[in-house]
């Protein structure tokens, strides 16, 4: 396994109280595998990704519990300097949700794509320059060699997203966390980014965690899906099983919200109600207040039930 996460708990210590953004999740990613992490806004997807890099909000963010293993090496107990030197940007890279958080407006693209390669001692001098041109060409920046001196604002939104991807793949990481890499992009560029991620994976065997709320994107790119709700994983399984026989009422509701071609319903079936507060969440099943299949038992935490090889869901209905 490239990545094995067990019972990860990430807390944000806020004035309002302790926000349990990631509350006991376990997941794994194999060599050359893509795991889709899907769920509504605020379910803890980005903070899960940031936890893997130990890049949590300064002051408030803390990994409170659990284990993160990369190729068998425990990361939660590693020193900050070892994390920066050997792991972050080198063995685990992240494509951030908003490309401008990864790009500095006052440095040229050439400088910014060079940085991780230089810092991790992958290339220097003329080799570095040609490597930078290589990765920029790989992400389809036209005439890359002429644009090394240009600044982020001189590129389109889609190009900026691809430049961030170039920074992430330059060091051929073992694990790539791609946080909503396509939401801000138009459809043709989305297709290009997806093709690019597939290509990188075929070439290098990199494990990918693709964070998205778009189940269509997840279906086309992922081998397995983990569905997140209010800081927990409620269902996980191979992509075909998740789409054909979703077991958790939340997964079923998410799938029902996808418009299908030829669908005569005038609008999407949104899931009624709001996700719970992560400062003071319900003690039992967190989806219960919105669940059409709610029972009395749901006031207690649901068991995780194995439905088939690699397909699990946490719901009383299945117990």
Contact residues toward Mg ion (CB under 5 A) are 46
Q: Which stretch binds ligand ATP (CB under 6 A): 36-44, 76-84, 123-131, 187-195?
A: 36-44
Residues in 293-312 at the binding interface with ligand ATP, rule: CB under 6 A: none
Rounded least distance, CB 302 to Mg ion, Å: 25
Span from 37-45, 165-173, 259-267, 305-313 in contact with ligand ATP (CB under 6 A): 37-45
Segment 46 to 85, residues that bind ligand ATP, using CB under 6 A: 46-47, 57
Residue 266 CB, shortest distance to Mg ion, in Å, is 29
Min dist CB 215 to Mg ion, Å, is 16
| Closer of 43 and 201 to ligand ATP (Cβ) | 43
Nearer to ligand ATP, 48 or 159 (CB): 48
The entry of Mg ion, ligand ATP, none near residue 109 (CB within 5 to 8 angstroms by kind) is none
Q: How far is the CB of 140 from Mg ion (least distance, A)?
A: 25
Query: DSSP secondary structure string, 122-135?
Result: S--HHHHHHHHHHH
The torsion of the CA quartet 98, 77, 170, 141, rounded to 10 degrees, works out to: 0
Tell me the CB-side half-sphere exposure of residue 75, using CA atoms within 13 A.
25
Nearer to ligand ATP, 12 or 298 (CB): 12
Interacting positions 100-119 with ligand ATP (CB under 6 A):
none
Verify binding: residue 19, ligand ATP, rule CB under 6 A.
yes
Residue 21 interaction partner, one of ligand ATP, Mg ion, none, beta carbon < 5-8 Å per kind: ligand ATP
Dihedral Cα 294, 297, 299, 302, nearest 10 deg: -90
Smallest distance from ligand ATP to CB 53, Å: 13
Question: Which of 3, 21, 222, 242 touches ligand ATP (CB under 6 A)?
Answer: 21
Residues binding ligand ATP (CB under 6 A): 12, 14, 19, 21, 39, 41-47, 57, 97, 213, 278
């Amino acid at each position: 396994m490239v990545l094995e996460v067990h019972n990860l708990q990430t807390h944000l210590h806020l004035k309002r109280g302790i926000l349990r953004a990631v509350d006991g999740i376990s997941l794994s990613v194999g060599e050359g595998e893509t795991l889709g992490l899907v769920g509504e806004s605020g379910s803890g997807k980005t903070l899960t990704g940031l936890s893997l890099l130990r890049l949590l909000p300064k002051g408030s963010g803390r990994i409170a519990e659990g284990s993160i293993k990369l190729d068998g090496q425990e990361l939660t107990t590693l020193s900050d300097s070892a994390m920066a030197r050997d792991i972050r940007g080198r063995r685990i890279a992240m494509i951030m949700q908003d490309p401008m958080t990864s790009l500095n407006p006052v440095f040229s693209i050439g400088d910014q794509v060079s940085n991780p390669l230089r810092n991790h001692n992958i290339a220097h001098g003329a080799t570095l320059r040609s490597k930078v041109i290589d990765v920029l060409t790989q992400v389809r920046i036209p005439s890359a060699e002429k644009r090394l001196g240009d600044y982020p604002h001189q590129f389109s939104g889609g190009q900026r997203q691809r430049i961030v991807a170039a920074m992430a793949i330059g060091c051929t990481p073992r694990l790539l966390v791609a946080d909503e890499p396509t939401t801000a992009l138009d459809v043709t560029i989305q297709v290009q980014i997806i093709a690019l991620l597939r290509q990188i994976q075929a070439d290098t065997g990199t494990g990918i965690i693709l964070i998205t709320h778009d189940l269509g994107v997840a279906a086309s790119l992922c081998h397995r899906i983990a569905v997140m709700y209010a800081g927990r994983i409620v269902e996980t399984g191979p992509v075909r099983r998740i789409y054909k026989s979703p077991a958790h009422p939340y997964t079923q509701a998410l799938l029902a919200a996808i418009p299908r071609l030829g669908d005569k319903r005038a609008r999407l079936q949104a899931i009624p109600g709001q996700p719970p507060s992560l400062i003071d969440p319900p003690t039992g099943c967190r989806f219960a207040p919105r669940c059409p299949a709610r029972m009395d038992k749901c006031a207690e935490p649901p068991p995780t039930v194995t439905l088939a090889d690699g397909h699990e869901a946490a719901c009383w209905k299945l117990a």
